[in-house]
Amino acid sequence: MFKKYSDLAKNRNYIKSLSAALINRFGDSIDAIASSWIVYELTGEAAWSAIIFAINRIPTIFITPLVGPWVENHKKKHIMAVTDLIRAVCVGIIATGLLLGFLNAPLIAVLNLVISTAEAFRTPAGTAILPQIIPEELYSQAISLNQSLSSVTELVGTASAGIIIAVIGSSGAIYIDMVTFVLSAILILSMSVKENAGNHSASLSPSSYMQQLKEGFDYCRSKDILVSFSLVILFLNGILVPLNSLQAPLVAEVFKGNPYYLSAFGITITVSMLVGSVIYPSINKRINVKIALVTIALGIAFFYIGVVAASPLYGNRFFALTILIALTSVLGLSVSIGNMTISVEMLKVIDKSYLARASAIGSALGCAIMPVSAFIVSIAVRFVSVKTIFIVSGIISIAFCSYLFWRYYESLQQQNSDYIGEHLAS
């Protein structure tokens, strides 16, 4: 394993790609805090924050699945660099507008829509270029290293955001984000990559584009493993919405705690996901993919049901915090390993000529389930308690775990049947 990490360190294209991603993550972690304050300070209304949050999701849901054919017919590193520069310009306008006093909420909404649209092109391009940077035998180590260092970078960026904003102001913090996009574009352009697609310069006709788009959807539907991964993506993104949207009520109503509990939750999630990303390459070698996904679903169920089942102990703050940290650690490990399992296996099983289209469709599906789940939770919380919602979420996780195990058992039986049939025939 150490030799594989050493091979990655010698891969100049991978190092440049990783450096660009980390620089972006650092800038975004600062920008996320600065932007939330800016929107509220300008409007004084929480509704605008919700509107901009929704706008950021629209391109992912509606544009991302449509751009795959176009991305596959153009140089991915050029797409990544140009979209980084577009994002730099938009972020620069926000920082300048705040500095000069012409920034307002509608302008922020429009610029965020442009940024999210650019990201809808960059995400599938970034996925499609990865197999052209590193060999398949290094996928696990590369994605593990990306996730680990990204988590550390995000922690550093989040921790330093308050100091940066205090010293140079919100506009200065956003200018830093702009600089990170420019640096990322320079690093991406400096990569030396021989891209596989043979018609970079060709412009797709409408009929050719529609044909390739249809082929992408047909390809995803035709591969059982991709259908299974799509179900897991939908499950993971949907089942975590109750937790993400009800963290404050969970602390107040279930744990009878204070905001320090939220901090403990956030730190534990980040650290446990970091640990999951570090140990993933070792786990990946020792466990079947479907069994890994079953275990992940059980981990999420364990968190949801465990939080409610242990509630009689929450009268003691030491026990309450200890249980919260323990359950959250299981959750963070489960989600981290689940995300990386899907990422690595998709790179392995998807034909490289379909990678941009398949990843775009997967991203759109994963994002689309979140507002649906949030809408359901917002209605349910009016009629039932947070405890009830968590118990139901845990039951759904167990049901999904059972479904995954059944699919695994069924495929195992089929493999055994095929094996016996081959030997009888011989």
Q: By C-alpha distance, which of 197, 208, 184, 186 is closest to 356?
A: 197
DSSP 150-179: HHHHHHHHHHHHHHHHHHHHHHHHHHHHHH
Residue 16 clears pLDDT 90, i.e. is over it: yes
Give the Cα separation of 237 and 183 in Å (integer): 31
Residue 420 — very low, low, confident or very high, per pLDDT cuts 50/70/90?
very low
Instruction: Give the domain 210-426 fold.
Output: Growth Hormone; Chain: A; (1.20.1250)
Instruction: Check for a shared fold between 10-191 and 210-426.
Output: yes
Residue 267 clears pLDDT 90, i.e. is over it: no
Residues 6+ apart with CB under 8 A from 393: 239, 242, 243, 300, 304
Give the Cα separation of 71 and 355 in Å (integer): 10
Q: By C-alpha distance, which of 338, 334, 361 is closest to 350?
A: 361
Residue 276 — very low, low, confident or very high, per pLDDT cuts 50/70/90?
confident
Give the Cα separation of 43 and 62 in Å (integer): 28
Q: What residue type is 414 in one-letter code?
A: Q
- Rounded mean pLDDT, 275-290: 78
The dotted CATH code for 10-191 is: 1.20.1250.20
In Å, what is the CA distance from 177 to each residue of 8, 84, 161?
A: 27, 11, 11
pTM: 0.69
Q: Which residue has the higher pLDDT, 10 or 93?
A: 93
- 303 with 330: CB under 8 angstroms? yes
CA 186 vs. chain centroid, Å, equals 24
Residues 6+ apart with CB under 8 A from 426: none
Give the Cα separation of 36 and 276 in Å (integer): 29
Joined tokens for residue 5: 């990490």
Residue 49 — very low, low, confident or very high, per pLDDT cuts 50/70/90?
low
DSSP 246-296: SHHHIIIIIS---HHHHHHHHHHHHHHHHHHHHHHHHHHHHS-HHHHHHHH
Task: Give the single-character DSSP code of 133.
Answer: T
Taking the domains of the chain in order of start, what are their residue ranges? 10-191, 210-426
Give the Cα separation of 162 and 323 in Å (integer): 30
Mind listing the pLDDT tens digit for each residue in 368-417?
787 788 778 878 888 888 899 999 999 999 998 888 777 655 554 444 44
Q: By C-alpha distance, which of 210, 197, 215, 233 is closest to 79?
A: 197
Helix axes 139-189, 259-286, angle to 10 degrees: 110
